[in-house]
Amino acid sequence: MRRFIVLLMSVLMVGQAAWGAASAVPAVAGPAAGVPQAVEAEPDRLPAYQPRFGRARPVVAVVAENYYTELSDYVVPYGILSASNAADVHALATQPGTVRMFPASLTLTPQATTDDFDRRFPEGADYVIVPAVHRDDDPKLLAWVAAQARKGATVVGVCDGVWVLARAGLLEGRNATGHWYSFDDLRKAYPKTQWLRGKRYVADGKVVTTTGVTATIPVSFGLVEAIEGRERAVALARSLGIERWSSVHPSERFHLGLSSMLTIARNYASFWSHENIGIPVAPGVDEIALVLEADAFATTFRSTVYTVSQNREPIVTKRGLTIVPDRVANVDAPRRMLAVPRTERPLRALDEALGRIATSFGQRTAAWVRLQMEYSGF
């Protein structure tokens, strides 16, 4: 998160005279000069799950840092793995209390803390999923992730959660990847890691890393495949709304160009046209569709997203997460309300949100959202 704040401040320094130069839609352009060569892009298969401790099925921990955690990074893997019914999935946080999410500022209440989890599962998790967090140097988070790795868990760093893995000492001497915006910084900060382009996720032993936000989708199906097999993973993907998924990724398309910078600066500066947008939530809301839509709109720099319920009582989602609503219908709900998040094929919510963003804010803003979420379709 703070890296994008730095990005924004840099963008706002672009001179007024440059506005006329923005003739192309931002994002997903040609290869950036000077980037490392992509590795040979072959669809990866994550190592097959090996049962431990007499468990009937694996234990998966998705861990948040309470101050700020990336919403889709946290919820999408939780939702997909819970929908698979292939594992026992636990939504954790490092501290008691609620977790603030970004870029859509939803508030979630975790199911347990990392201390609670350690008391219940002293042997450790089988899989640990680490999202992007604002304080990626948080000592408690780093110590817990490192301890889980020592206990034999497969640790998955999604998006800028890769920084947590690197700071915890898990990437030295390994192959890894990361979000396009952080890639060069990671390469400079951790030269003993072999940083690879051309894949949405890279597995090196029991350490898995991914590119940007939407890589949470294919890597989650990769985990389902590792646990339950290819046929089950493909069937689940179709039921949730995509026909195919792969680790192969066009990394060369993602870089920050002038048009992208000007789109960000224009949207941020146009405060008079900034919109508050509400998404209705009720018990049983599909959390996958909700967060993909919320993050997409929150990334536009043209809108702020709020969850809206009939009252302030926490609501439990379709797969067991607890959301604390931001606003109350007929009291302080935003003027613009989106439809209830779709309940069938929830992964389609992202493309639908991008279509609405293009209609409301223009194709350049939709392209900026695709760039920041590192999304080129599946």
Residue where a domain terminates, one of 190, 217, 240: 240
245, 294 contact by CB (below 8 A): no
Length of the chain as a residue count: 378
Handedness of CA 249, 251, 253, 256 (dihedral sign): positive
223 with 337, same domain: the answer is no
180 with 263, same domain: the answer is no
Q: Three-class SS string for 128-142?
A: EEECCECCCCCHHHH
309 with 202, same domain: the answer is no
The answer to whether position 276 is within a domain reads yes
The answer to whether position 27 is within a domain reads no
The answer to whether position 92 is within a domain reads yes
- What are the residues facing 322 on neighbouring strands? 109, 316
pLDDT value of residue 28 = 43
The answer to whether position 70 is within a domain reads yes
Counting residues of the chain whose pLDDT is more than 90, the rounded percentage is 81
Residue where a domain terminates, one of 240, 264, 299: 240
283 with 191, same domain: the answer is no
Q: Which domain holds residue 191?
A: 59-240
169 with 197, same domain: the answer is yes
Output phi, psi for 292, to 5 deg: -65, -40
Residue where a domain terminates, one of 240, 275, 307: 240
pLDDT value of residue 277 = 97
The answer to whether position 9 is within a domain reads no
Structurally, the chain folds into a number of domains equal to: 2
Quote the crossing angle between the two packed helices 258-269 and 363-372, to the nearest 10°. Answer: 110
Lowest mean pLDDT among 91-95, 113-117, 262-266: 262-266
The answer to whether position 17 is within a domain reads no
Q: What is the mean pLDDT of residues 158-162?
A: 98
Output phi, psi for 138, to 5 deg: -60, 120
233 with 326, same domain: the answer is no
The answer to whether position 233 is within a domain reads yes
pLDDT value of residue 3 = 52
Counting residues of the chain whose pLDDT is more than 70, the rounded percentage is 88
pLDDT value of residue 80 = 98
Q: What is d(CA 214, CA 192) in angstroms, rounded to the nearest whole number?
A: 27
286 with 226, same domain: the answer is no
96 with 154, same domain: the answer is yes
The answer to whether position 136 is within a domain reads yes
187 with 151, same domain: the answer is yes
Q: What is the mean pLDDT of residues 86-105?
A: 97
pLDDT value of residue 18 = 32
Q: What's the CATH code of the domain at 100?
A: 3.40.50.880
